[in-house]
Amino acid sequence: MWRLFVSYSEDPARTLAAALQPFGSLRCTRQQAGALLDAIGVPVPLDVKPEKSIHVSEAVDDIIVKAVPEEGYPHPQRAIDWAIDDDHVTLSTPGGVLVTIDRDGIHFEFNRNSRF
């Protein structure tokens, strides 16, 4: 298993949106990333902070539902929410990559058969 950790820059929403960009099923806007980070307690810039705070599961659903499904067999597939808590979320891509987003940064776990 290979692991990769990405720490947040001065703009955590931009860091998260850029880190998820290669995964079609998790591709999101900076505003969507900001809403998710705000929900788990990461300070975000005011221009991406939602007017009304939302629950972590709502922020995750907004990303998963609006993202483009990845190619899969027998049909395109969406990412799934593997685990959701108040301070972190773990998502699984159709290619088998686990992505954990928490207050420290973004953790990627690539299994032997993972693809993206």
Tens of pLDDT along 13-28?
Answer: 999 999 999 988 999 9
Output the pLDDT for position 1. 80
Q: Within the chain, which residues score under 50 in pLDDT?
A: none
Going by C-alpha positions, the residue among 93, 53, 17 that lies closest to residue 6 is 17
Look up residue 112 and give its two tokens: 């032997």
Residue 115 backbone zone (phi > 0: left; psi -120 to 50: alpha; other: beta): beta
Output the pLDDT for position 73. 66
What predicted TM-score, i.e. pTM, was given to this entire model? 0.90
